[in-house]
Amino acid sequence: SSTFHPLAGGRVLSLALNLPGPAALLPCRNMGATCTKLEPPAGDPMALYNKTAYAALHEGVAVEVADLKSEAGQQRLHAALAQTDVLLTSFRPSALAKLKLDRASLQQRHPSLSQVAIIGAPGARAEEPGHDLTYLAESGLVTGTDLPPTLYADMGGALLASEAVLQAALHARSSPGAGGLYLEVALNAAADWLALPRTWGLTRPEGTVGGAHAGYRVYPCADGRVA
C-alpha cells in the first residue's frame, strides 16, 4: 500500500547515469528511501537528449555535482558516503577501481556501506561495452529489424537494482554490525529473465501465447483498428 515504506529512513547515493540507475531510484523513492545523486560537471547525458525523461526520473532526488576525478570531488563523495546506506553505481569494474570505489577500497573506508553495482554482464564480460539493444538481441528478443518498443533490459535491470537496494537495507537491519553487502545487477541477466517465456517456448510462433492459439492473436478490424 502507499503507507508501506520498507526503505523509510534509508539513504541511497547514486553515481549512475543514463537510464538504469536513475530508473532504479524511482521504486526506491516509492519505498521511502532518501535518494541523492552525484553527477559529473558535464551532467547526465539524458538531460541533453530527453529532458522529459530526465525530469521524471529525478523528481524527488537531490542532484548535486562532483568531479570524482578531482580531490575536492573525492572529498565530497566520501563525506556523502559516510551518511549513506547504499551506493548505486553503473561503472565498469576497472573504472570503479580507478576511482577507488571497488569493493575492497569501500570496505576499508566505509565498512557498513552496501553497494549495488549495475553492470552489462557478469564476470569477465563486465568490461565489455554494451547497450539495451545488444542485451535483448543476445537473449533472442530482437526478432526482426524493428527496434523493440521500450528499453526492456535497462528497465528490467532497474527493477533488479531496486530489489538489490531493498535486500541490502534488510540485511543491515537484520544483521547490524555485519558490514555492508556488494550486489551486482547485470543488464543481460535482466534481459534473460524477461526472455524466459520465449526460452520456454510460450511466446514463440508455435507457442500457445505466441500465436498458435487463435484466441491469442492480434487481428485487423474493419474500421482499421486492431483487436
pLDDT digits (tens, 9 = 90+) for 167-224: 999 998 888 888 899 999 999 999 999 999 999 999 999 999 999 999 998 898 988 8
pLDDT digits (tens, 9 = 90+) for 81-90: 999 999 999 9
DSSP 8-state assignment for residue 102: S
H or E element that contains 198: helix 196-199
Do residues 161 and 189 make contact, with C-beta atoms less than 8 angstroms apart?
no
Range list of β-strands (E), 67-225: 86-89, 114-119, 182-186
CA distance 87 to 24: 12
Query: Pick the residue with more confidence: 1 or 78?
Result: 78
DSSP 8-state assignment for residue 220: B
For 58, list phi and psi in degrees, rounded to 5.
-110, 10
Kindly indicate the confidence band of residue 2, based on its pLDDT and cuts at 50, 70 and 90.
low
pLDDT digits (tens, 9 = 90+) for 61-71: 999 999 999 99
Percent of the chain with pLDDT over 90: 88
The pLDDT score that the predictor gives to residue 82 is: 96
CA distance 43 to 64: 10
Average pLDDT over the chain, rounded to whole? Answer: 94
pLDDT digits (tens, 9 = 90+) for 11-30: 999 999 999 999 999 999 99
The pLDDT score that the predictor gives to residue 175 is: 87
Whether the pLDDT of residue 107 is over 70: the answer is: yes
Mean pLDDT of 131-143: 95
Does the reported pTM lie above 0.75? yes
For cell 537494482, the residue is 161
Mean pLDDT of 152-168: 97
